[in-house]
Structure 1
Amino acid sequence: MRSLRSPFLLALADVLISALVVAPLVVAYWRGTWQVVDAYLVPLVGDPLNGWLSLAFGITIHLVFALLQPLLGLAPLRPHATFLALSRAYTALFGIACVNCWRGIWKVLDHELGITPLADAGSFAAALLALALTRTVRNISAPPFVVAVDDALGYFKFPTAFRTKISLAENGRRQVETKDSEDPYQRYGRSVIARAGVASWCAVRYVADCVVSVVVIGSLVVVVWRGAWYLVDRLLFPEKPEWSAWGSLILGYSIAVFVFSLQVPAVALCARLKHGFLRLVTADTFIFLSFCGTVNVWRGVWNLLNIHLLPDFPLMSNWLTHVVGLLVLMLLHCSNSILVRGVWFDGEEEKGACVVFPVLYIRHYSKKQHMGANHGIPAEEEMQTIKQGDVVHPLMSNHHNKSSDIQSSHREKEEESAHVRRDSDSTPLTPDVTREIIIGRTT
């Protein structure tokens, strides 16, 4: 009985932590950072230049971190203090860049389009349609429907739109890899000129990929958020700020409870849909419903902080939420939740996993500790980031492992293969085999 109830309690705890702890802290950080920039930059340069400066700074830092992923990924995990200082400095700077990027786009649109019902609704609809056509609607998700833990392995990595990447080959030479070929040099022989040409072309593709991911997809996400936020401003008690804030908070959390409760039938429906287009539409509709809750939670927390947290000392209030939000999230090892980075595609996971939200906190670290204890290997170095498909809704956690609609067949085959290698007397238990076993059990 305990084994049936424990997964439910862990999953429920993850949802509660995401909704009641992580989400308010992330909103507090964003609110403080955004309004601190307002307080210093607007009086200094005025409109619209402050928006363009924020945009230039934010996009530049974001692009630099995207382009330097291969080098940042070489950061040593030991000593722990060195990695901790480097990674948290990265998060602190990247967080400021993300806020400035969003603030810049937001302010520039305010100045260029104006804040009118037609402009807000039109930009919102156009950006949402563009995201739907490019299968990137899920990038509008944010806490409480997303929790990003500060895992050492892959701390600096995030996916780009075309999944182009640069890595270091085993022989120490730089090699360019794309999703089309693991070794593009094989098709062009061994000549230095051919390799240099292929490497240059793939590097150009990598830069273009980063630009599209950050500038195009990232900007569309901001436009959707801005339009939705302004529409709620007009519809929900526009003449009564406090009522409007409390209304947003109550509405947002009500939608969040409804969406999390609806995941069981949503997962079952997506798992049974054979037509890819219908499955994609269902997933996008479910994600958009969660987005309606997310916007209202953010707007409610943000405006209530403005109203009730040191209203007579706004600059102190903003600095307080900026610092406290960041430090507490770092202490909780989920400060990466403040970052807006990477491009994910709708319906990327198999079957019903595409509508399960990546809300893992206790389960992530519990699984990590369990793996380290069972295999005698430092969990921080061997633990792979848990995929979104492993996230379980509380109401379905008891039967998740038994459901053939949620688990994919290729994962079962990989796990079976890993167990065969482990139990075979003829196959030595090398570090590579051990790593494969661990990854097989994780995925």
Structure 2
Amino acid sequence: MMMTTTSDSRSTMPNDQEHARPPWSSAVRHKISDVLVIAVVITPAVNLFWRGTWNLLEESLPGDEVARAWLSLAIGSPVLALAGLLQHPLRRLGGRIRGKSMVGHHVLGMVYSYVIAFASVSQWRGFWNLPDYYIPRMVSPLGYALRTILGFVAVVILRTVLLGGGCPRSVSVDFDPDPFRVDLRFHTNKAERLSWQFVLDVMFSLWVCDFATVQFWAGLWGFLDVVLFPDNPCFSYWLSVGIGYGVHLLATFVQYPVSALSKQLKGTEQEFWKRLALEDAYLLIVNSGVVNIWRGVWSVYDCYVLPEQTKLSAWLSHGVGAAVCYLVFAGRSLSNGGGIGVSIDGESDDGTAVLNSSYLEDSPNETTRRVAEVDTRAPIN
């Protein structure tokens, strides 16, 4: 028996050595593929959808610029509020449909993600433009810098810096078992019945927190417009693309040591504040890179995608962006990351808050938790 075993081992050893690969090799290739899909496919497609939708609102809504901004807000904000307020019946409906037909559940999720994405663009457009009209002094290098600082201070105070990072930092796939969940700032979404606390939390989370995030984006975007080679716009846009993707590439490597350091800072209240400061400082840099990517890619589209036919260009951007995202099962990313709701800074003490989202792999524990939560929820009387 020993001779046979030795012979078998020797006969398989050369073949094993021939096909052996370092354990990390497959993981590295997988991570590179993941980063490329997010950066080269999903992010440009989401950006294309937002550009098209934004410009369609500009082209289609009646009235002057101020009226169109208010109309954008009137279209988007109520839809998002309803999604938050009605999340519990929507989640139960989704659970029933999923139990009968996974295809039906997927189709419902696709429709929901499209409506939410359109409403998000509409609300952002209102929040973005209205301060410019009512505070004209903000339209200057100093004004944009002040708007950026105030926006960042606001999200730090609200502990919603995590909301400032869209694609490529944050993406979401379409096969979430609980796509209608809307996490709120004060967690009153755990209550099954409507209450004033729940309604106020929905409005605060989806309007106030969103407004603060938009001001950071609008301020930094406007500041780059006026200081980064304003006399050579197309070069300025390509430079933003390079800066943004450079920051994203650097963050892809740096995120792991930052995550490890963040994970070590847990236990005492003092360590909590150190961890929060570390994560916010890191995310400020990462989110600034995201804004650069969006400014650059969006404006490059303006330069090259039917610049003389604005309405056709808008429709083409809107349709192609949505189609690409749905084809790669990333329709939930159309809302610039993945659905709506609030992620609270500092709540995760395992270092995962600073990690970029992954497209090619999902968290098994999180998926299992959400499936169990949906399946075991008792009906409301």
Q: Paired residue for 1:336?
A: 332
Q: How does 1:289-308 map to 2 (within 5 A)?
A: 289-308=285-304
CA distance in 1, matches of 2:65, 2:49: 24
Q: Paired residue for 1:37?
A: 57
Cα-to-partner distance string for 1:247-288 (whole Å, 9 max, x where unaligned): 111111111111112123212322333511111111011111
8 Å CA contact retained: 1:113, 1:119: no
Give 1:337 shift: 0.8
2:108 aligned residue (55, 64, 86): 86
Q: Paired residue for 1:230?
A: 222
| Secondary structure class of the residue paired with 1:261 | helix
Q: Paired residue for 2:70?
A: 52
Give 1:11 shift: 2.1
Write the letter of the residue equivalent to 2:272: G
CA distance in 2, matches of 1:158, 1:354: 18
1:240 aligned residue (202, 213, 232): 232
Unaligned runs of 5+ in 1: 167-175, 178-198, 372-381, 387-431, 437-443
8 Å CA contact retained: 1:280, 1:347: yes
2:244 aligned residue (248, 252, 277): 252
CA distance in 1, matches of 2:85, 2:140: 37
Give 1:293 shift: 0.9
Confirm or deny that 1:125 pairs with 2:123: no
Unaligned runs of 5+ in 2: 1-20, 377-381
Give 1:152 shift: 4.0
Structure 2 length-normalised TM: 0.84
CA distance in 1, matches of 2:222, 2:276: 28
| Secondary structure class of the residue paired with 2:325 | helix
Confirm or deny that 1:210 pairs with 2:202: yes
Q: How does 1:147-226 map to 2 (within 5 A)?
A: 147-165=171-189, 176=191, 203-226=195-218
CA distance in 1, matches of 2:240, 2:370: 33
| Higher helix proportion (structure 1 or 2) | 2
Give 1:2 shift: 5.0
1:360 aligned residue (358, 361, 366): 358
CA distance in 1, matches of 2:256, 2:108: 40
Give 1:136 shift: 1.2
Confirm or deny that 1:105 pairs with 2:127: yes
145-154 vs 31-40, greater mean Cα deviation: 145-154
Q: Paired residue for 2:347?
A: 348
Write the letter of the residue equivalent to 2:341: G
Give 1:83 shift: 2.3
| Secondary structure class of the residue paired with 2:129 | helix
Change (3 A) 1:278 1:93: same
CA distance in 2, matches of 1:237, 1:32: 25
Q: Paired residue for 1:421?
A: none
How many residues matched? 341
CA distance in 2, matches of 1:25, 1:317: 14
Structure 1 length-normalised TM: 0.73
1:322 aligned residue (318, 328, 334): 318
8 Å CA contact retained: 1:18, 1:146: no
CA distance in 2, matches of 1:103, 1:134: 22
Give 1:349 shift: 1.4
Q: Paired residue for 1:73?
A: 91
Give 1:116 shift: 2.2
Question: Which one scores higher on RCO, CA 8 angstroms, separation ≥ 6?
Answer: 2
| Secondary structure class of the residue paired with 1:48 | helix
Cα-to-partner distance string for 1:55-97 (whole Å, 9 max, x where unaligned): 1111100001111101111221132343233222212211111
Cα-to-partner distance string for 1:181-218 (whole Å, 9 max, x where unaligned): xxxxxxxxxxxxxxxxxx6xx62111111011011101
Give 1:137 shift: 0.8
Q: Paired residue for 1:27?
A: 47
CA distance in 1, matches of 2:64, 2:346: 43
Give 1:113 shift: 1.4
8 Å CA contact retained: 1:151, 1:385: no
8 Å CA contact retained: 1:10, 1:363: no
Confirm or deny that 1:136 pairs with 2:160: yes
Instruction: Give RMSD over aligned pairs.
Output: 2.3
Cα-to-partner distance string for 1:363-386 (whole Å, 9 max, x where unaligned): 23xx87xx9xxxxxxxxxx74569
8 Å CA contact retained: 2:148, 2:220: yes
| Secondary structure class of the residue paired with 2:181 | coil
Q: How does 1:286-435 map to 2 (within 5 A)?
A: 286-339=282-335, 341-357=340-356, 359-364=357-362, 383-384=368-369
CA distance in 1, matches of 2:368, 2:322: 25
Write the letter of the residue equivalent to 2:210: G
Write the letter of the residue equivalent to 2:308: D
8 Å CA contact retained: 2:262, 2:278: yes
CA distance in 1, matches of 2:369, 2:316: 35
| Secondary structure class of the residue paired with 1:160 | coil
| Secondary structure class of the residue paired with 1:362 | coil
